Amino acid sequence: MIAEQQQAIETFIATDLAKQLKLHAASCRLVSYDGKVLTIKILGGCSGCPSSQLTIFKMVVPALKEKFPQISDVLLD
């Protein structure tokens, strides 16, 4: 079940989130998922940018939690 959820999350990141992050010259990849806690890595333009926290916590995290309500927390790697 977790493997199926992880695949669905990876697909969402690669499609829906990728479109939004591309506007920031950034990308995101799944590092780990245990069924509740998701760890992601932000790459590209958002990596090291002072505004990246805004992008991550106002766009990426809410989108992930809305699409996958079983995610209780999103951590950054």
3-state secondary structure 6-71: HHHHHHHHHHHHHHHHHCCCEEEEEEEECCCEEEEEEEECCCCCCCHHHHHHHHHHHHHHHHCCCC
pTM score, whole prediction: 0.89
State pLDDT tens for residues 4-55.
Answer: 999 999 999 999 999 989 988 889 999 999 999 999 998 888 777 788 888 8
Structural domains in the chain, sorted by start: 2-76 (3.30.300.130)
